[in-house]
Amino acid sequence: MSKPFEIRYLTTAVRDLEDIFDYIARDRPASAVSLLEKFDHTISQLADFPELGVVPKDDRLKRIGYRMLTIENYLVF
């Protein structure tokens, strides 16, 4: 069964995820993998639940329809 929505990552988001992974993996490779899996799991839920997360308080982000997910200490828009 196909998902109702397709998840697409901006190039900037991919770069951010790579940077986060590389930084954590220097000292704790297993933790880096685990965090990346949490990102993937949570973000992939948006395909079924596009209104997952909260509306940001910032008026500009709110106006253009952003939503925000919190994954550990990271914010995903």
- Which tens digits make up the pLDDT trace of 11-50? 999 999 999 999 999 999 999 999 999 999 999 999 999 9
* pTM of the entire predicted model: 0.83
Measure the N-to-C terminal CA separation of the chain; round to a whole number of Å.
26
Q: What is the total residue count of the chain? A: 77
The helix (run of H) or strand (run of E) holding residue 76 is strand 74-76
Domain residue extents for the chain? 11-76
Q: How far apart are CA 11 and CA 48, in angstroms?
A: 22
Of the pLDDT bands very low, low, confident and very high (cuts 50, 70, 90), residue 4 is confident
Nearest to 39 by CA among 57, 18, 62: 18
Confidence check: pLDDT of 1 > 90? no
Nearest to 9 by CA among 47, 38, 57: 47
Confidence check: pLDDT of 3 > 90? no
